[in-house]
Structure 1
């Protein structure tokens, strides 16, 4: 029995050290990305600045929470009180920022209304809370945060009593989370038939934000399980920190692999220029559509004209070129004519192959959309919306149609 208990104790120690090491490692990486994106969004000159600032505040607040946990677990408690007090106001503004970002993102607002500024009242009280001569037991606060999470510290940390913050912090999270989802569901922007250009980003943002806010309550839930069921769950807070960090890094990895999300909403100031960065060598070029030109085609002049007009009508009315996967077989299917007839009309009457022809429509769409969306989206993200599968394809097509690069084209437009 003594040997078994020793083995069990050794196992628990090894498990605790493993969880702690992994938590510190992944939390450090998360801290880096959170700080990077928050600073980038604060300094970004493109996109809607209101949305950039709100998202930056959310990232910076989350950065503060992770940093506080890192300081506690790495025994850097000398600077812990100052960091905790610095990020306290942000913890009260984050739920409001989550709500304001969502409700202003849907209509694309560029500034807050007068009434929306009232959502920042809690942060005023949070700042006032810092100016107090009340003695603070930082060791006890650190122990409580390690045990219950940062939402449920029962020790006084400033001007107002601890019970005030025990009620306010979780209350703000729950209330603003409910208000956000109510506003989104009411707007029906997440419906499958909704045509909002930022639907995918909004869905990802809502799911991620909801997950991270609700996991803040898990330490308290598991503490109650310990008390009520007499369970032994070692290193709960370290495990939750590890869970949050891995989840955040998975979301970042997903966004990095979806250029429309990354360049359009997260890294909004990036402006790739083919003339400077030779993207064509780095990004795989699309394989052009191979059409069947071997078959002998016998079409009367009237048929050629009718086919040509029908093809143009489909492109102008239904705008299938906005779909990245649209091919000549899809066009032929929509018109109920053979593929080689479409190819023959394009090559002999219109004078272009299918890829150049469809890219012409996409470039014209881009030229219409860019002046309307340039303030809140990058050139690359607008190009993706117009049907281009890659940045390299877009720049090649633009230069082929206009003879110059997009930045030069629009700078000349401004001068004229």
Structure 2
């Protein structure tokens, strides 16, 4: 009997199709709820959509960044390459899901209102950059570049599977240039879509924080999916504790990176004490928002840092996955804190519990419906893409080293 073809041997399990159908059903529920929210509270719909959108965009872009690093460096974590590729191929869907943000620009961004620009000297000074036409042009360039990079890497990856080893060097060259484009585009996207919500505030560290969040979200998602796949053929014969150990170490690095960037930004603003910068932080450490800020310090740094220091935890996927799931939830809370205080600086007032009038928690049911809608659609697209290719890049020149790894500390 002839040996099975590699693409058949490494075909995705049937459970991938089941996960795809469940994701689509979740999306239907979320979209129905969002449609109701759009009718009864349009302003909050746009805010909730933006926050949820940024979470899944971060997973896709972070996966593409990790894929390019893998092409450049090789390494044992190349066994996760198909997950990175499938995530990056969701970018066309994310470009489509950006349309509600375009429709809600008038609600999200004060600089889109000509009367406010004319009345504000700072907005007039920034009008050459912060204007609707240039905003849309930049968004088009970002998505066009990201999608082109993802499409080209997929095309050459298919040729590699077919035995064309001439694409190996091309993938490295593309990855080198692609990382540069991704870094600049993601930095300016963070400025455009998040930082410009408060056009008076600025931070030179914001792009680094934005990209660091992408990496942490992508690694956490990869651990979750890999834990799902490790119990099923063919990945049960491929993935080893050392592979999860590698992802755990990278996650630990990004957790520390998040803390470093955020502390550095806060320390510099505190030391400079400039009137343009201080209000941003005052809004996030008062009126109830300080409890969410403390939550982020504890659960996006302190707790995962201590847990991920443990070697045994990183090598046990069924324990590591709980840390990763928690980090994905905390990433959403982090994005919520970047956006929501700008619209209701006193909206997290916890005196609601004491029954004081005019007090309310600034958490809306749309803040749960939007991630369910976008997440369901995104996961449906992700599993659709994952099912189209063998789960192992069997022609990858680094695959043998990846399968033989034993892990480190």
TM-score, scaled to structure 2: 0.30
By relative contact order (CA 8 Å, sep 6+), the higher-ranking structure is 2
